[in-house]
Amino acid sequence: MATEISKGLKWTFFINFIVSLVFGVLLFFLVEVYLGWLGIDNFQVPFNIGGFFGGALLAFSSASFIAWKQTEWEKVKILVIMNIVWNMLGAYIFYWVVIGRWSFGGGFLIQPMILLHFILFFGFLAAFIFFYIQHEKEKTVSN
């Protein structure tokens, strides 16, 4: 018997879909505006990396939407692992942006958008790790 996806994981996929869609559209179509919110000059970013990152977020958004529609753990397990890695890397980057700004005299005057990204990456990382552990334990108990 296949293990069903918990409602909490379904909600996590849905929220991840919405957040990734919003930020993906902003970064893909409004790169200069979005980077301005982060305090980054578009000329500091080589090869339009902001647009590329926006495209990646749109891909994650569609993957989360597809996973949200699924009902079985084995069908979404790889996406959960992918989200853990993605959010771990994002959390690491924004952690160093926050710590780096503080360390180099930036103090605690962190831009709200930087802090928002920091919180979102860590929040999704914690949620996906929690549900991965939960579903894997449930799978081993049922076997």
Q: Is residue 57, in this structure, part of any structural domain at all?
A: yes
SS3 72: strand
Count: domains in the chain: 1
137 pLDDT more than 80: yes
Q: Is residue 38, in this structure, part of any structural domain at all?
A: yes
103 or 15, which is more confident: 15
Percent with pLDDT over 70 in the chain: 79
Rounded to whole angstroms, how far apart are CA atoms 107 and 141?
A: 48
pTM of the full structure: 0.84
Q: Is residue 59, in this structure, part of any structural domain at all?
A: yes
Q: Is residue 61, in this structure, part of any structural domain at all?
A: yes
Q: Is residue 2, in this structure, part of any structural domain at all?
A: no
Q: Is residue 54, in this structure, part of any structural domain at all?
A: yes
What pLDDT, on a 0 to 100 scale, did the predictor assign at position 99? 66
Q: Is residue 17, in this structure, part of any structural domain at all?
A: yes
Domain that holds residue 85: 7-142
Measured between alpha carbons, how far apart are the two ends of the chain, in Å?
9
63 pLDDT more than 60: yes
pLDDT tens digits along 21-58: 999 998 888 887 777 776 666 555 555 677 888 899 99
Rounded to whole angstroms, how far apart are CA atoms 52 and 111?
A: 23
